[in-house]
Structure 1
Amino acid sequence: MAREPKTNYEKNGVKYYRVTVTLGRDCNGKLIRKEFYGKNKKDAEEKKDQYLNGINEGLNIDFSNVILGNLMRSWLFEIVRISSNIKPASFSRYEGVFRNYIENSLIYNIKLSDLKSIQIQRYYNNLKSIGKSSNSIKYLNKLLKQFFNYCVDEGYMLKNPCSGKRIVIPSDEIVGPQDEEVEYFTDEEVKILVDGLSKHSLKHIILINLGTGMRRGELLALQWDDINFQSKEICIKRSLSKTYLIDEDGSRKKQTIIQTPKNSHSIRTIPFPESLLPLFKELEIKQKKDKLAAGELYVNSDYIFTTAIGNLIDVGNLYNSYASLLKKLNIKHKKFHALRHTYATKLFEQGIPLKTVSQLLGHSNIEITANIYTHVIPKQKVDAVEKLNYMFKSL
């Protein structure tokens, strides 16, 4: 018995199995036929049956007229938004990309059945020509790729126009050997900063950040149970962020939330220097005094860093107070994240191995750490080679 061929049709160089069904006749008496494509006969038949079942249930959808923007909005708000795998901050970024790059764009009204990779490529090239960065376009492409995967899985499209090497992200012009330097505090600036913190409200946050290198959100989400004072270790398992929470109708409201850290490697246990122990003790005493002073207005919680009435620290207020402090101390302004960079830089300067620093920082791989701290690693290599001088003392 002859075997059934796996494919029987080729389109744009790709082989498929095609089945055809007659749906009736149009007003001119012409037969209405619809084709279904699959990786093999079974796959194509399943798509055909799904479509016919939809007709029987009154769900006849003509995929040929589905508009990219309309379906992407439905996918984003009705599927992605309610997924247990999506964090509010991530969805806020997705919604922002859709709002800024898909709505009212050149590609919004394109029919999925007509969409080709070259149309996406031209759109990206146009974005680059009006000043959008490669990173912005790359993030847009990442979201579109996820959406088109959904479209392929649901039968709206035969293939993903953003998959493989079909799309090239326009590159930024190379300004120099390093477009953006990592900001960190010098030893002199650290001394000025530490000396100027004795009675400042940010004393504990800044000093503990310098001694642990935690991300801002990880630091502000710390609870007392996360600290092991005997082993001098901190368990990092949550993060605070201020982001837009978006309803299904697209309305946006900014809110402070607590969530799990950005990746699985961020959930970690790190040691802290013994010199930080008195700071935690001072914080305990301060919270008790705040509670007595606020009385019934005080909000009880297990968080370490709180306001005078027990609320979580507002990120915007933290940044404003931090910027004012640097200005008062005549230190050139650096992002709050520079405290974390300072921690890592000083570890490298003390000869701590790359892998260890990467694990302490909670990076997903050491390549990320190496790429960020290129300003320190070359000096480490020079210092390491200099240690071989002992072999040549007799020369």
Structure 2
Amino acid sequence: MASVYQRDGGKWLAALRIPCPAGSVRADGSPVLIRKNKTIKAKSKAAALRDANALEKQLRDNPAAPVTDGSLEWFLLQIFLPYQRANKALKTAHRDAQLANGVLRLMNGAMKLTDVRKPAFVALVDAARKEVWPVDHPKAGQSRNGARNVHHIWGFLKKAMAHAYDEGLITWNVRVEGVKAPPVPKRGPNVKMATADETQILVDALRNGHEKLNRNDADLADVVEFGFLTACRKQETLGLPWAHVHLNAETPFVIIEDVTEEAGGIFRIRRGTKTSAKTGELGRKVYLVPDALALLRRRKEADKGVVWNVDRLVFPDPRTGRVWRPSAVSSMVQTAANNLGVTAGLHSRRHGGITHLIEQGVPLETVSQFAGHADPTMTASTYGWVTEALAQKQLVAIAGGLSSTPKPKTDATGDDLPPEVMLKAMEYAQASGQPLEVVLAVLRGAGAAQAAE
């Protein structure tokens, strides 16, 4: 543990005990410790000792690192971002680096890490909301950060401060201090979704050729079709190895465990990172529908072997046999879809596949596991509008039985309705949680409208 000695003007001399940079060790194998002095500024002895211990920990972990003053900028650039790059996905680390620049742009980077508390979070959110583009930017004077971006910047700082607490650099625990998140407007039902028909048009054109496309590409067609049939993300599809494909199981399935990553011009396969949201175990099991099973069996028969397909991937780059760059695949799908006039984007096939399952009556919990969502709540929040649309269709379908003959004066009990319609109405009311009177009123209104037509 470090020691501190008071000097004049709020300055303290910190005596740090750190391993010898030369790597000297004692007879028992323990490192030889040396003393290193550092002058720091602090308001009290307790604060000075806390900062001194943080510096000592930094130097013990990396004796060659320069001693710093424990500022927010030092922590983000020298401690937190390197940790993220070493332990998180490429995309996460790349995004965090961008958010770190935003935090340091909006806050005083020289601020002591130990001084970052609730008021600093409030000031950060306020500054982010007021920030505008500089005069030399095409959007000069316009707001730079929307509500969602403000929330991302706030969330990054909270995540960073939680890591600082876990590392023992600060004693303030942001997780239990009730730092209030800035509000984010809810997204509407605007998910870009490719229907089954649109996907089939795109797949057929890619596989068999089309006058609006420059060339046909059967491998790209397989990626698009597999994404729709399994609702897999493109990173999961392109990172899928044959070792995780079980075609001869009683119910054939694949294990989604490896993913491709791409950020900052780098792409790679990250092994063993996907876990089951339900069990927490490594890998997510996705059962194969007949069309997906036929697709994989066809590709298995056509596989060129380990000499060409070194990584033993199901969907390697057909030109090189190595990992297929995700951005290249997305670009080709986007171009082909735009030329054909169908919903573009490879990820829209995933949305389409999930929506198709819901429309077929598959329970949300099962769909959530199939899609790899954290929980059914996430599925419901994103695709709840699909279930609402289905409910409306069911009501109209039930009401169809009311339009054939004139109906007598109605009452709230439903005695005027045919028994089979009344039974369906009761089942629907129980499943949806709506009062039976409300369902009956909707049915009668729909029946009257159809009779009038």
Q: TM-score, normalised by structure 2?
A: 0.63
Deviations 1:113-172 (A, max 9, x none): 544533331221221233313332323223322332344566654535685334441545
- Quote the residue 2:292 is aligned against: 276
The amino acid across from 2:93 in the alignment is F
Give the drift of 1:221: 1.1
Distance between the aligned counterparts of 1:356 and 1:76, measured in 2?
A: 37
Q: Secondary structure at the match of 1:360?
A: helix
Give the drift of 1:337: 0.8
Q: Secondary structure at the match of 1:214?
A: coil
Distance between the aligned counterparts of 2:291 and 2:89, measured in 1?
A: 35
Say if 1:154 and 1:379 are closer, same or farther in 2 by CA, change over 3 A. Answer: closer
Give the drift of 1:305: 0.7
Which 10-residue stretch deviates more, 278-287 or 120-129? Answer: 278-287
Distance between the aligned counterparts of 1:208 and 1:185, measured in 2?
A: 14
- Quote the residue 1:267 is aligned against: 283
Task: Give the alignment of 1:84-95 within 5 angstroms.
Answer: 86-95=88-97
Q: Secondary structure at the match of 2:298?
A: helix
How many pairs align?
339
Deviations 1:6-31 (A, max 9, x none): xxxxxxxxxxxxxxx9835649xxxx
Say if 1:378 and 1:302 are closer, same or farther in 2 by CA, change over 3 A. Answer: same
Deviations 1:218-267 (A, max 9, x none): 111111222222232112111112124xxxxxxxx523333334554282
Say if 1:117 and 1:357 are closer, same or farther in 2 by CA, change over 3 A. Answer: same
Distance between the aligned counterparts of 1:136 and 1:218, measured in 2?
A: 27
- Quote the residue 1:257 is aligned against: 269
- Quote the residue 2:15 is aligned against: none
Q: Secondary structure at the match of 1:357?
A: helix
Where do 5+ consecutive residues of structure 2 fail to align? 10-41, 131-142, 209-215, 402-413, 423-453
- Quote the residue 1:345 is aligned against: 355
**Does the alignment pair 1:184 with 2:193?**
yes
Say if 1:170 and 1:362 are closer, same or farther in 2 by CA, change over 3 A. Answer: closer
Distance between the aligned counterparts of 2:4 and 2:188, measured in 1?
A: 60
Deviations 1:354-388 (A, max 9, x none): 11111111111000000110221113334566788
Distance between the aligned counterparts of 2:322 and 2:112, measured in 1?
A: 50
Q: Secondary structure at the match of 1:36?
A: helix
Select 1:327's aligned residue among 313, 316, 338.
338
The higher radius of gyration belongs to: 2
The amino acid across from 1:379 in the alignment is A
The amino acid across from 1:128 in the alignment is R
Where do 5+ consecutive residues of structure 1 fail to align? 1-20, 38-45, 245-252
- Quote the residue 1:4 is aligned against: none
Q: TM-score, normalised by structure 1?
A: 0.71
- Quote the residue 1:312 is aligned against: 323
Select 1:197's aligned residue among 202, 206, 211.
206
Q: Secondary structure at the match of 1:23?
A: strand
Question: Does the Cα contact within 8 Å between 1:268 and 1:362 map onto a contact in 2?
Answer: yes
The amino acid across from 1:143 in the alignment is F
Distance between the aligned counterparts of 1:64 and 1:282, measured in 2?
A: 60
Task: Give the alignment of 1:1-395 within 5 angstroms.
Answer: 23=5, 26=8, 34-36=44-46, 66-77=70-81, 79-83=83-87, 86-98=88-100, 100-129=101-130, 130-152=143-165, 157-160=170-173, 164-169=177-182, 171-172=184-185, 178-179=187-188, 181-199=190-208, 200-201=216-217, 202-230=220-248, 231-244=251-264, 254-261=266-273, 263-265=275-277, 267-288=283-304, 298-306=308-316, 307-333=318-344, 335-382=345-392, 392-394=417-419
Distance between the aligned counterparts of 2:397 and 2:92, measured in 1?
A: 47
Say if 1:232 and 1:104 are closer, same or farther in 2 by CA, change over 3 A. Answer: same
Q: Secondary structure at the match of 2:240?
A: coil
Say if 1:49 and 1:183 are closer, same or farther in 2 by CA, change over 3 A. Answer: closer
Give the drift of 1:351: 0.8
Q: Secondary structure at the match of 1:108?
A: coil
The amino acid across from 1:267 in the alignment is G
Deviations 1:42-71 (A, max 9, x none): xxxx969969x99xx9x9xxx996322122
Q: Secondary structure at the match of 1:197?
A: helix
Question: Does the Cα contact within 8 Å between 1:64 and 1:111 map onto a contact in 2?
Answer: no
